[in-house]
Amino acid sequence: MNRWLAALLYALLCAVTFVVCFPLLWAISTSLKPKEEIFRWPPTLLPERFTFESYRELLFGGSAASAPGAGTPPSDFFLHWFANSIIVSVGSTVISITVATLAAYSLTRFRFFGQRAVPYVAIMGYMIPSVIFVFPMFLTLVELDLTDTLLGLTLGYVCITLPFCLWLMWAFFRGVPLEIEEAALVDGASRLQVFRQIVLPVALPGIIAASIFAFIVSWNDYLFGRVFMNSMELLPLTVGVMHFFDGTHVDWGLMMASSVLMTVPMAILFGFMQRHLVAGFGAGAVKG
Amino acid sequence: MTDVVISGLSKSFGSNRVLQSLDLRVPSRQFVTLLGPSGCGKTTLLRLIAGLEKSSQGEIRFGEKRVDTLAPGDRNIAMVFQSYALYPTMSVARNIGYGLEVRRIGKPERTARIGAVAKVLEILHLLARKPKALSGGQRQRVALGRAMVRKPDIFLMDEPLSNLDAKLRAAMRGELRRFHLDLGTTTIYVTHDQLEAMTMSDLVVVMNEGVVQQIGTPEEVYARPANLFVAGFIGTPPMNLVPARHEGGVLSVAGAKLPVAVPPGAPAELILGIRPQDLGVARPGDAGTIPGKVWMVELIGSERLIEMEVAPKLRLTAEVRARQRAAIDDAIAFRPDPAQIHLFDPATGASLTAAR
Ligand SMILES: Nc1ncnc2c1ncn2[C@@H]1O[C@H](COP(=O)(O)OP(=O)(O)OP(=O)(O)O)[C@@H](O)[C@H]1O
Ligand SMILES: [Mg+2]
């Protein structure tokens, strides 16, 4: 009976995994097909002839097939976009995490007016859809003369990731027993030493989780990039790849190859972080 | 060589007065236990001594030096927390050596001292592990090691044995006592377990509701409780406390006359205290006994507890040898040992006999 249940569950999990993975597999398959095969009907599941044409075009540019008369083909900007996305995502993640960690620590350890309200206000701010404040924010950036700059976009992402990171780190620090810090103080450590040597290592899994969140949000964002950015060479990937759609026809080969390349940093990030996420959280500090 | 002198120390959390003008002198090299029920302010007092909490009033001196304003790290104390509070991300060795590390003591000396302490505590084989891979008893040893390695002036320990099983606790009691005898460091030890307090300490400080009730050797607080609280708190089963009257120099409990000398100036209505161990079984009608009916009998190993109803809502418990038998509802009488009778003033709770 139990065996059957296990088998059923297993089958269900396989099905779910397949459904979740199918778009990615389809993207990989499409990106490896020659252009004439992409639109064939009935579609081929696997490419009949493998070609790295789309990838070559994205990574090394100079497509012979680019439309005559036009300027630089969009695919030539791919590496720019990729770099932009990395810079903006890493930048906003670093800023968000630094601010969130320090703020959350002080929220749990020092007493001041509004101490209890801040995390809840933050999480409520996070629940407001970004469409609502993207335009006010745009106008602010205009004032600051930061539109169409990577810095402006980075700050935009900080605005949407910081509240949640703050909340996450706050919840995390609340779980770090105060006594281990007091033990370190009695041992003779300074406040800064306590923070660096005792608190941060314990908080590492939380920091990693928050970083992954912040990175994913920034990396996948479309709205802010679309509204804030203008110059072709400053676009983030998500906005940039829309140029493979020229109003009448979509270059699915390039689109899919871009998507596949876009998932690479994510895959790497998760590969590295997963171990840390699971490892060494503060169990064992305390009796029991 | 550090005695701890606390004078007029008060601590409030908001309107909650946790310690009230507390005076206490802990002599150098002694093992002093703070004993009291949960919530009486033991941990708070320890944290004040450690500098983890700021006092509302009063002062704390280590020897001649006033320490109230010093940071915890500058007091040269070591503390074993109720929860052990080991650093979860550090190995056992680094946990023990962290205090030396932040005091910039070189690696070779550090390693040597960690090794020496680990050897004494028999945790040499655990040095590379993380705290979460240790049992409760092992964690406790690491916490102790972390305190010992520093060679502090004062040890502060907050119920370090409370989460261990009974057997391990008994073993650790002896070991802790042994460490203290070997090191001779002034130790302030918090517990709510009177057995720990009685077996381990040179001096017991009995506290209740933030007020010191009595300071004395274990023998003193047991044999001559200063007031009703101490009398009721120390000893198992607890001391019998019953109302008594005295008229014309004769003391009586529920009408039974007892041959006890009442100190001069005692009020007519008193509270009489007698430990279950100081009551013997007698025949009803004998002189100097209190008659009643057997209410409940319990065997506790080599002893038997006999609970006798003297009058409605007035019961006495005697602890007698197990071979002494008694059947429920039988008529019985208890003979108190006159030398072991305690008398208390019901108005103040103070003992009238502790001074004798
Ligand atoms: N940070 C705090 N804020 C407010 N009240 C506190 C604080 N710490 C302790 N108290 C109160 O002070 C009183 C004494 O607490 P304390 O921890 O010293 O008790 P304790 O004697 O150590 O008890 P236990 O045996 O249960 O550990 C309690 O009533 C407690 O509620
Ligand atoms: Mg306590």
Q: How far apart are CA B333 and CA B279, in angstroms?
A: 10
pLDDT band at A288 (very low <50, low <70, confident <90, very high): very low
Interchain pair B146, A183: CB under 8 A? yes
Question: Contact at 8 Å (CB) between A189 and B98?
Answer: yes
Task: Output A42 or B33, whichever has higher pLDDT.
Answer: B33
Return the structure tokens found at B69.
């304003």
pLDDT (tens digit per residue) in A214-264:
999 999 999 999 999 999 999 999 999 888 887 788 888 888 999 999 998
Residue A63: its pLDDT value, please? 56
Q: Which residue has the higher pLDDT, A91 or A30?
A: A91
Q: So what's the ipTM on this one?
A: 0.84
Rounded to whole angstroms, the Cα distance separating B119 from B128 reads 14
Q: Is A179 on the interface with B (CB under 8 A)?
A: yes
Mark yes or no for CB contact B88/A186 under 8 Å: no
Pocket test for ligand 1, best of B44, B56, B158, B188 (most atoms within 8 A of CB): B44
**What are all long-range contacts of A266-270, with beta carbons under 8 Å and residues at least 24 apart?**
A266/A216, A266/A219, A269/A212, A269/A215, A270/A212
Contacts of A157 (CB under 8 A, 6+ apart): A88, A89, A92, A96, A214, A217, A218, A221, A224
Residue B69 has pLDDT above 80, yes or no: yes
Are B314 and B255 in contact by the 8 Å Cβ rule? The answer is no
* B356 Cβ contact list (under 8 Å, min separation 6): B263
Say what the pLDDT of residue A248 is: 81
Residues of A in contact with B50 (CB under 8 A): 182, 186
DSSP letter at A49 equals: S
Which residues lie closer than 8 Å to A18 by C-beta, 6 or more apart? none
Residues B232-258 have pLDDT tens digits of 999 989 999 999 999 888 899 998 999
Closest chain A residue by Cα to residue B78: A186
Residue of A nearest to B148 (CA): A187
pLDDT of A277 > 80? The answer is: no
Q: Ligand 1 pocket test: which of B18, B159, B213 has the largest number of ligand atoms within 8 Å of its C-beta?
A: B18
**Whole-number average pLDDT of chain B:** 92
Give yes or no for residue A202 having a pLDDT over 90.
no
Residue A147 to residue A129: CA distance in whole angstroms = 21
Across chain A, what does the average pLDDT equal? 86
The residues with which B317 forms a beta bridge, in sequence order, are B307
Confidence (pLDDT) at A269? 84
pLDDT computed for residue A284 by the predictor? 35
What's the rounded mean pLDDT across residues B285-298?
92
For ligand 1, residues with CB inside 6 Å are B 13, 16, 18, 36, 38-44, 192
Looking only at the bridges linking them, the beta strands covering B31-35 and B186-191 are: parallel
Q: How does residue A286 score in pLDDT terms, banded at 50, 70 and 90? A: very low
Burial A55-86 (b: 16+ CB within 10 A, else e): bebbeeeebeebeeeeeebbbbbbebbbebbb
pLDDT bin (cut points 50, 70, 90) of residue A126 is: confident
> In this complex, is the C-beta atom of A208 within 8 Å of any C-beta atom belonging to chain B?
no
* Confidence grade of residue A283 (pLDDT, cut at 50, 70, 90): very low
* Distance of alpha carbon B127 from alpha carbon B148, whole angstroms: 15
CA pair distance B352, B356, nearest whole angstrom: 9
- In this complex, is the C-beta atom of A187 within 8 Å of any C-beta atom belonging to chain B? yes
Predicted pLDDT at A270: 82
Return the ligand 1 atom nearest residue B207 CA. Answer: 21
H runs (alpha helix) in chain A: 2-31, 35-38, 53-60, 78-109, 117-127, 130-144, 150-174, 178-186, 191-193, 200-220, 223-228, 237-240, 252-278
Inter-helix orientation angle A200-220/A78-109, to 10°: 140
SS3 content of chain B, % helix, strand, coil (to 5): 30, 35, 35
Structure tokens belonging to residue A189: 């450590």
Mean pLDDT of the A118-128 span? 86
Comparing alpha-carbon positions, the chain A residue that sits nearest to B74 is A188
Residue B330 has pLDDT above 70, yes or no: yes
Q: Ligand 1: which atom is nearest the Cα of residue B192?
A: 25
Residue minimizing CA distance to atom 18 of ligand 1? B41
- Mean pLDDT for the stretch of residues B135-150: 90
Q: Which residues, chain by chain, have CB under 5 Å from ion ligand 2?
A: B 43
Tokens 């002893």, located at residue: B303
Q: How far apart are the first and last CA of chain B?
A: 34
Could you check whether the bond before residue B88 is cis, i.e. omega within 30 degrees of 0? Answer: no
pLDDT tens, position by position, A47-71: 888 888 888 888 887 655 555 555 6
Positive or negative: CA dihedral B225, B228, B233, B237:
positive
pLDDT at B139: 93
CA distance B333 to B290: 5
Give A210→chain B minimum CA distance, Å: 19
Q: Is residue B222 over pLDDT 90? A: yes
Cβ atoms of A202 and A282 closer than 8 Å: yes
The two beta strands, B186-191 and B203-208, are: unpaired
Backbone angles phi, psi at B297, to 5 degrees: -125, 130
pLDDT band at A285 (very low <50, low <70, confident <90, very high): very low
How many inter-chain contacts (A to B, CB under 8 Å) are there?
98
Q: Please, how many CA atoms are within 13 Å of residue A41, restricted to the half-sphere of its CB? A: 0
> For residue A90, what pLDDT is reported?
96
Structure tokens at A136: 């006010």
User: What is residue A279's predicted lDDT score, i.e. its pLDDT?
Assistant: 46
Whole-number Å distance, alpha carbon B182 to ligand 2 midpoint, is 27
d(CA B14, CA B73): 26
- Give how far B176 is from chain A: nearest CA, Å: 19
Residue type, B176: L
What pLDDT was estimated at residue A67? 52
Specify the 3-state DSSP secondary structure of B84: coil
> How far is the CA of B171 from the CAs of A37, A52, A90, B192, B263, in angstroms?
79, 73, 55, 18, 43
Rounded average pLDDT over B324-344: 93
| pTM for this model (two decimals) | 0.80
How many Å apart are CA B325 and CA A10, to the nearest integer?
67
* Residue in chain B nearest A193 by alpha carbon: B102
